[in-house]
Amino acid sequence: METGRLTMEEFQLVNKTDGLTISSKKKNVKESKAAEASIANCKVEIIRMDPFEMEIDFIGFNISLVNAYRRIILAEVPTMAIEKVYMYNNTSIVQDEVLAHRLGLVPLKVDPRYFEFRNKEETEWGAQDSVKYSLNVRCSKNPKAAADETNPDILYLNRKVMSSSLKWIPLGNQTDIFQEANMQPLHQDILLAKMNSGHEINLEAFAVKGMVVTMPSSSLALRGIVSCLK
C-alpha cells in the first residue's frame, strides 16, 4: 500500500505523494461528475446531407466547443482548387487577375484523396499532385439571329463564359485512373465572364491539393440558435 505524508499548510492539507490537495481532489471529482452529466444531455443530429452540403445540429454543446470543431475542419480537411492560371489571351473586359481569382473560386468534383500535396519547389506539373484544365472561348455574332433581335445572349454566340467551358486535360496516366465526369467543376453554370463579338479567352489552369483554410473554393459556416425557456 502506498503511503504518503500529509503536510499542514495555512489553509489546507497537502498530500506529498501526488502534489494534489484534498480539497483539489474533491473539486476535481465534482467537476468530473458535472462534465459527465453535461455530456449526457448533449447530442448530434444530422439534419440534411447530400453530395454538396451537410447540415448538423450540435444540441447542448457549448458554443466554444462547436466553434473548435469548425476550426479543426477548416485546418485539417483537404480539397482541390485551381491555384495557377496561365493567361495566353484575354480580350474580354474582365482583367486577368479578376478572372484568375474567379477560377480559384470554382469548386471541383476532384477527390483529393487520390492526390499528393504539391511541393512548393516543384516546377513541373505531375499527374500525382496536379489537375490541368484549359479554357478556350471566342465570342462571335450569331448568324441565325433575327434582324430585330435585341437580346445580346441571342445576338452573340458564347457571350457568357461559364464554368462548363473548363475542359479537363489529363496528365500522365490520369485517364487510366479517373473518369472525365469526376474531374469537372461541381456546378456547370457558374458565370466567369461576359464577352462581346470578337472577344476571346485562352488560358490553362492547374488545380492542386490544399487545406480548406487556404482554398477559397470551400466554405464552412456556423449558425447559432438560442432557445428561451420559462
Tens of pLDDT, residues 77-103? 888 999 999 999 999 999 999 999 999
pLDDT tens, position by position, 53-66: 888 888 888 888 88
Longest Cα pair distance anywhere in the chain, in angstroms?
A: 103
State the average pLDDT for the chain.
83
The predicted pLDDT at position 202 comes to 97
- Alpha-carbon distance of 27 to 65, in angstroms, equals 22
Q: Which amino acid is at 12?
A: Q
Q: Which of 100, 105, 130, 109 is nearest to 209 (CA)?
A: 130
Residues 123 and 171 in one domain: yes
Q: Read off the pLDDT of residues 98-124 as tens digits, 9 standing for 90 and up.
A: 999 999 999 999 999 999 999 888 888
pLDDT confidence bin for 70, thresholds 50/70/90: confident
Q: What is the dihedral of CA 108, 114, 119, 124, to 10 degrees?
A: -80
Q: φ, ψ for residue 141 (rounded to 5)? A: -70, 145
Question: Residue 106: its pLDDT value, please?
Answer: 94
CA–CA gap between residue 60 and residue 65 (Å, rounded): 11
Looking at the fold, whether 69 and 182 belong to one and the same domain comes out as no
Give yes or no: residues 170 and 209 share one domain. Answer: yes
Q: Are residues 134 and 208 in the same domain?
A: yes
What CATH number should be reported for the domain holding residue 159? 2.170.120.12
